Structure formats: C-alpha cells, structure tokens
Amino acid sequence: MTAFKTLDDIGNVRGKVVLVRVDLNLPMQDGAVTDDTRVRAAKPTILELADAGAKVLLLAHFGRPKGERVSTQSLSMVVGAAEQVLGREVMFVSEIAGPVVAQVVGILPEGGIALLENTRFWKGEEKNDPDLAKAIAANADIYVNDAFSAAHRAHATTEGLAHLLPSFAGRSMQAELEALGKALDHPEHPVAAVVGGAKVSSKLDVLRHLVGKVDHLIIGGGMANTFLAARGVAVGKSLCEHDLASTAEDILTAADAAGCTVHLPYDVVVAKEFAANPPSLRTCNVHEVAADEMILDIGAAATEALADVLKVCRTLVWNGPLGAFETPPFDTATVALARTAAALTKEGSLVSVAGGGDTVAALSHAGVAQDFTYVSTAGGAFLEWMEGRELPGVAALRH
Ligand code: ADP
Ligand code: MG
C-alpha cells in the first residue's frame, strides 16, 4: 500500500551505521525540557534499530540558529530527556559530519546511540547543500527519516540525504503517512472535513484542495464569518475578512461544481465583548447578529446538525476549532462535535484524523485526543499535506 520503504524492508542492520532524522525540537523553559512527546514518538524507531544491532546516529534541528553555533540552542540540552525516555545511554557529539563523527562511529558499540549536534548550526542544512549532505552521508550506511513534522522542508537532513543513502521511513513517519493516506488519499466515503480557526486567508489552499476531495465541508470558527459575510449576512463586529468575499464565493462555486456540500452555521453564539461568560452572551440565528455583537462560536442547532452529518460519514479530517475555544463558553461547539467524532470513532463507524496546533489543544481540552484515529502534532507539515502538496521529505523517500 505504501510507496515508500519502511523498517520492514531494511534488512540486517547489525554493525551498520544508521542516520535517523528525528524531531527533537522540544519545548524548553529555563534550560529544562517541558514536554518530551516528540522523543516518545521517535522511541520505537530508535530502539528497533538499536536492538537490531545498528549504530544509531540521531540527526535533529533545534530552534532557529540560522547557520551559526548558538550555545543556547545546542542539542546537548536534550540528551538527558532523550536518555530518560529511551532508557539508554545517549552519547552527544558536537559535530554532524567529518572526523569527529567518524571517530564516534568507530567507538560506538553495536546498538549504541549517539545524538549529533543541531543540524541548523550548519548553513548547508536549510540550503539543502549537497556537499553538506555528502559529508554527513560519508559516515553512514543507511538513512531513516522519522520526522514527518520536518518533511515539508527540503533540507539536507530531511531531503538531501535520501538521495545519497538507502532510505527508509521510520515507524512514526510510517504511522503518520498511513493515517493521512487513509483520511484523504484513499478514504472511505462519505468524507467530511471540518475547517475552522481564525482566518480564511491562512487556509485558502486547504479549502481549495478539500472541496475537490470531500463530500462535506464544514466551515466554522472565524472562517465561517467570512463565508457568511460573502453571502450577504451582517456579522457585526465579528472577526471577518470582508476583502475575501469573492474568494469565498469562488470556493463555494467550486464546491458546488464538485458535488461537495458546504455546511455553514445557521445559529451562532454572540456577545458584545470578548470575555469569559460575558453578560451580553446569547445564541441567535445568523441573520439576527446586531451591529455591536461578534460571533464567537457556532450555535447548538448547527452543532447538532453537524453531528448528524458525521454520523453518516466514514472519514473525518479536522483542522481548526469551531469557536474561540480558549474562552468559555465559546468552546462548547468544538467540544461537543469533538466528542461526537470520538464516540463514532470508538464505535468503529468513523476514521478520524485531526491536526493543527490549536486543534490538538482543543481536542485535548475536550478530553478526546486519544480517541481519534490519529492526531498529528506536525503543524506546518500537516497543513501543507491538507493543501494537497507533496512534502519534499516524503517525496524523497518514495523513489
Ligand atoms: P490551528 O492552529 O488548529 O490550525 P488556527 O490557528 O487556524 O487553528 O485557529 C485557532 C484560533 O481561532 C483559536 O485561537 C480560536 O480562538 C480562533 N477562533 C475560532 N473561532 C473564532 C471566532 N469565531 N472568533 C475569533 N477567533 C476564533
Ligand atoms: Mg494555530
């Protein structure tokens, strides 16, 4: 099913030097790692290779040092967290290529793990410089990419290396590609997409791509206001991109032509001030929003209608909250629909895939992130995938 090779195809790696591109761009505060989710995501691949006797060299970037050594962005700071999660010793190496790495390869035992320095300390990384990629590849036998979240960048360690060494997708990359493939490339129909969030302008390409792919396009959040306004609805003080009215119309026309049903809310939750539980809070029909009110969530009737849509669908992809979910009670619709999707997934009638920074936070807030089929934490790479783009790091694995 997959057009790329995985660790199942890698053969005997005993004594082989395997470069593994991982995502170790961990959130830190005062020099301490605050969330080790990304190390846990890479753990199965790293241990599978180490346990098979490979010499594992981890490659990762950290922050944006822009091609210079910046001591506060050294990957040496995450060695402790990596050792803790992996339960193994991890040797830190202050280079990514050259004789120092060659020496490390010489002393590293079979099954040993070394973490190389922040790849972005070298200018050639972000330029995808073939000479840098060649120098890195010179110390290794095999390349494994386990960092889907960095796959939208064509950098030396995310793309270049794949052209120089036998290349394989790691377990985490494989899981992500399989889940995303099930959701949009070869999904079971009917397919619903929820697209919400703050602005239409940030997700125009997502909307354009989805209308040709899905049966139901559910638009919520601030984006819905722009579509409503384009249809002549007065949205008061709502967050709205009035200058995108004709773009919104084009998307609606394209959806119509493609047989995609677009769902806009017909009731909304409004308030005169944006605050928690404001006194002016009320729910009304979209045609009754006053000039001094703003739409901050979709209403209960609309939410129920959307739940009915999900009940007849087999596949769901979700990016963007339906309301200003950080401020109660404007999380109501997002939480309700997320719980419906989670329940349908548990029952086995729905494959549900979600992604996006705020979306992941909203699903966690609803307490259902673990009940979705797959939740992508990949941010930029997830959105580019939703735009239908081929990610360079993934494309390079395919040949
Ligand atoms: P993601 O990070 O999942 O891609 P976005 O960044 O596009 O999502 O959008 C999330 C933001 O959209 C949240 O901060 C949320 O408060 C905001 N938002 C959603 N609906 C509204 C609304 N009706 N008015 C103002 N902001 C909204
Ligand atoms: Mg966001």
**Is residue 293, in this structure, part of any structural domain at all?**
yes
Indicate if the pLDDT at residue 399 is higher than 90.
no
Residues 276 and 346 in one domain: yes
Residue 260 and residue 230 share a domain: yes
Residue whose Cα lies nearest atom 5 of ligand 1: it is 197
The predicted-structure confidence for 191-235, as pLDDT tens digits, reads as follows 999 999 998 898 999 999 999 999 999 999 999 999 999 999 999
pLDDT tens sequence across 227-269: 999 999 999 999 999 999 999 999 999 999 999 999 999 999 9
Considering the domain architecture, whether residues 337 and 372 belong to the same structural domain is answered as yes
Residue 373 domain-assigned?
yes
Same domain for 166 and 194, yes or no, is: no
Task: Determine the Cα–Cα distance for residues 141 and 53; give it in Å rounded to an integer.
Answer: 13
Provide the pLDDT confidence category of residue 2 given band limits of 50, 70 and 90: low
Question: Which residues' Cβ are closer than 6 Å to ligand 1?
Answer: 196-198, 202, 221-222, 239, 295-296, 319-321, 323-326, 356-359
The count of structural domains within the chain is 2
**Does any domain span residue 25?**
yes
- Identify the domain boundary among 138, 172, 206: 172
Write down which residue in 139, 172, 205 finishes a domain.
172
The number of the ligand nearest the C-alpha atom of 382 reads 1
**Taking the CB of residue 256, how many other CB atoms lie within 10 A of it?**
12
251 and 341 in a single domain? The answer is yes
Catalytic residue among 38, 153, 182, 203: 38
Residue 269, φ and ψ in degrees, nearest 5: -100, 125
| 145 and 212 belong to one structural domain | no
Q: What is the pLDDT of residues 33-63, one digit of tens each?
A: 999 999 999 999 999 999 999 999 999 999 9
What's the CA-to-centroid distance between 341 and ligand 1, angstroms?
A: 19
Residues 164, 201 within the same domain: no
The atom number, within ligand 1, closest to the CA of 221 reads 20
Domain presence at residue 179 = no
Residue 128's contacts (CB-CB under 8 Å, 6 or more residues apart) are 154, 155, 156, 159, 160
Q: Which of 172, 199, 234 is the last residue of a domain?
A: 172
- Same-domain status, 345 and 275: yes
* 177 is a domain residue: no
Question: Which candidate in 357, 379, 388, 389 is catalytic?
Answer: 357
List the CATH number of the domain containing 123: 3.40.50.1260
Ligand 1 pocket: which of 289, 325, 382 to mutate (most atoms within 8 A of CB): 325
- pLDDT tens for 141-192 read 999 999 999 999 999 999 999 999 999 999 999 999 999 999 988 999 999 9
Instruction: Check the CA dihedral 330-184-187-41 and report its sign.
Output: negative
Domain assignment of residue 372, given as a range: 187-386
- Asked if residue 1 has pLDDT above 60, the reply is no
